[in-house]
Amino acid sequence: MEKINPDNMLAIEQPLLKIVVEKLKKNVKSSQKLIEKDMLSAQNIIDSMLLQAENKPENDADITMEIDTDHQVQLLSLLKSLKAKLTEKKNEESFLVHQLSERAEHSQKVQTFSSFSNSEYIAWSKTRMNRLLLDFMIRMGYQESAKTLASRYDISDFADFDFFTRIISIEKSLLLQNNCSDCLKWCFENKTALKKLNISLEFELRLQEYIELCRANKVQSAIFYSKKHFKNMNSDQYTKYSQAMALLVFKPTTTCKRYQKLYNNNKWNYLANMFRSAAYSIFGLPSQPLLYPLIQTGISNLKTHLCTSSNFEDKNKNCPICSSQALKSISEDLPYSYHTNSHLVCRISGLKMNEDNPPMRLPNGCVYSYLALKDIAQQNDKLIVCPRTGESFAFSDCKKLFIV
C-alpha cells in the first residue's frame, strides 16, 4: 500500500495560501497609509483651529465661532470618511482571514491520510481536482463557468475572482485599447513590491506612452513627458531611453529598422506578458495554472515509445495519450516513463497479460490475451477474427507465448 508524502502534496498547495497572505499584507499596509494620511489632515485642521483661537480678537467672538464651526465640520467629515474606509478594509480583512482559514484547513487534511486508497483522501482529491479546474478557468477568463463550478461544489473560498478579474481587465486595456493608465495605477499600488523584485514595469509603460506621443507627432508633449517621468534610471533603462529620444526626429514611417522596432505594436504583447508575470511574482503564483504541471507529470508517467509512433496499429485504445490528440500534443516534449519491469497489455481487453491471462500468438503474428481471444471464440463458433487485419483463425491455431 503506497503511502502519501505530505511534503510533496503541500508543495502543490503553497500558492493557494500565498496569494491570500499577500492580500492580507497589502490590506494592512493600505489601512496604515489611510490612517497616517487622514490623521495628518486632521492634525492640520486642529492646528488651524488652535491658531485661530490664539489670535481671536476679544470683540469678534461671533465671527471666530463661525470659523471654528467650519473647521469642526471639516474635521468631523474627515473622521467619518476615515471610519467608513477602515470599516471597508476591516470587512475585506475578515473575508481574507476566513479564506485563509478554509484553505489552510483543506491543506492540513493531507497529513491525516494514510494512503491513496483512503476514502477520505479520495474525497479530498476530488475537491482538489475541482479547485485546480476552477483556477484554470479563472486564469483563462472563463469567469461565469468558474462561478458555476464554485457554486456547484461549494469551493468559492478557493477562488480568487477579484484578483484575476483585475489582471484580465488590465491586460485587455493594454492589448485591445493600447492604454497604460490602468496598469500604471496598479504599478503605483504595488510600487514597493516592484522595486523589491527589481521589476521595471513602470519604466516600460512610461516609455511606451512616450512612444505613443511621438507616433501622434506630439513633439512638445513628448518632451515634457520625458522630462517629468524619466528620472533616476539604471544603465539599461538609460540606454533604452536614449534610443527612444531619437523618435522625436524619426517618424513612424521611417525605414530605419532600429526605430521601426520601437514603433512596432508587438510591444503591447510584451507589456501585457510583463505585467502578468509581475503580478504573479508579487503574489507568489506560478506562471501557469497548476493543472498544467500535474497533467504533464501524469502524461510523462504513462508515456511510452509507442505513444509517439506514426504507425496507427501501435496505438492502444485504452491509453489516454494514444486516444487523445490534445494529450498527444502535450506529450511531445515530455520524457518517457521509466519502467524497470515491462508489462504486456492486451489491445482488445486492456487487461494485463500474466500467468493467469497469458499472451497468445495468432498465425499472422499478432498477440492478444488468452481471455480476450477465448471470449471472441465463444461468440463466433470458435473462430477468432483479428481486429487488426480482419483475418479469421481457429482458436486451436493460437500459440501460447512465454516471456523470458
DSSP string for residues in 88-103? HHHHHHHHHHHHHHHH
Quick one: 373 exposed, middle or buried, by C-beta within 10 A (0-12, 13-18, 19+)? buried
> Can you say whether residue 382 is alpha, beta or left, with left for phi > 0 and alpha for psi between -120 and 50 degrees?
left
Does 146 reside within a domain? no
15's grid cell: 500558492
- What is the predicted pLDDT for the residue at 158? 92
Quick check: 152 and 127 in contact, CB under 8 A?
A: no
Convert 41-52 to b/e letters by CB count within 10 Å (16 or more is b): bbeebeeebeee
Any domain includes 264: yes
Name the pairing type of β-strands 392-394 and 383-385. Answer: antiparallel
**31 and 98 assigned to the same domain:** yes
Look at residues 112, 146, 176 and tell me which one is the last residue of a structural domain: 112
Is residue 144 over pLDDT 80? Answer: yes
Select from 283, 304, 322 the last residue of a domain: 283
Q: Can you give the pLDDT at residue 350? A: 80
Same domain, 166 and 279: yes
At 60, list the grid cell.
Answer: 469678534
Is residue 13 in some structural domain?
yes
Q: Are residues 278 and 356 in the same domain?
A: no
Q: Which residue blocks in 230-359 are alpha helix, DSSP H?
A: 235-245, 257-263, 267-282, 291-302, 325-331
Are residue 308 and residue 368 in the same domain, yes or no? no
**Residue appearing with cell numbers 527612444:** 244
- Look up residue 166 and give its amino acid: R
Domain assignment of residue 52, yes or no: yes
**What's residue 248's pLDDT?**
94
Using one digit for the tens of pLDDT, what is the confidence trace for 311-337?
666 666 678 888 777 787 888 888 888
Across the chain, mean pLDDT equals 88
Q: Which residues contact 194 (CB under 8 A, 6 or more apart)?
A: 187, 201, 202, 278, 282
Residues 181 and 262 in one domain: yes
Phi, psi of 299 (to 5 degrees): -65, -45
Q: How many other CB atoms are found less than 10 A from the CB of residue 164?
A: 20
Q: C-alpha angle 85/91/96, rounded to 5°? A: 125
Number of domains in the chain: 4
Q: What is the pLDDT of residue 57?
A: 62
Range of 112-121, 268-277, 368-377 with top mean pLDDT: 268-277
**Cα separation of 209 and 214, whole Å?**
9
pTM of the full structure: 0.76
Output the domain CATH number for residue 397.
Answer: 3.30.40.10
The neighbour count for residue 189, using CB atoms within 10 Å, is 12
Q: Which residue did the predictor score with more confidence, 75 or 308?
A: 75
Is residue 363 in a domain? Answer: yes
Domain that holds residue 365: 343-403
Q: What is the CA radius of gyration of the chain?
A: 34
pLDDT band at 48 (very low <50, low <70, confident <90, very high): confident
Instruction: Among 300, 331, 362, identify where a domain stops.
Output: 331
Are both 322 and 356 inside the same structural domain?
no
Position 171 in a domain:
yes
Instruction: Flag whether 249 is in a domain.
Output: yes
Q: Does residue 308 share a domain with residue 363?
A: no
Q: What is the pLDDT of residue 93?
A: 93
Q: What grid cell was written down for 226?
A: 520625458
Residue type, 98: H
Q: What are the pLDDT digits (tens) for 364-394?
A: 989 999 999 999 888 888 888 888 888 899 9
**Nearest partner of 318 among 358, 348, 280, judged by Cα:** 348
What are residue 353's phi and psi, to 5 degrees?
Answer: -95, 125
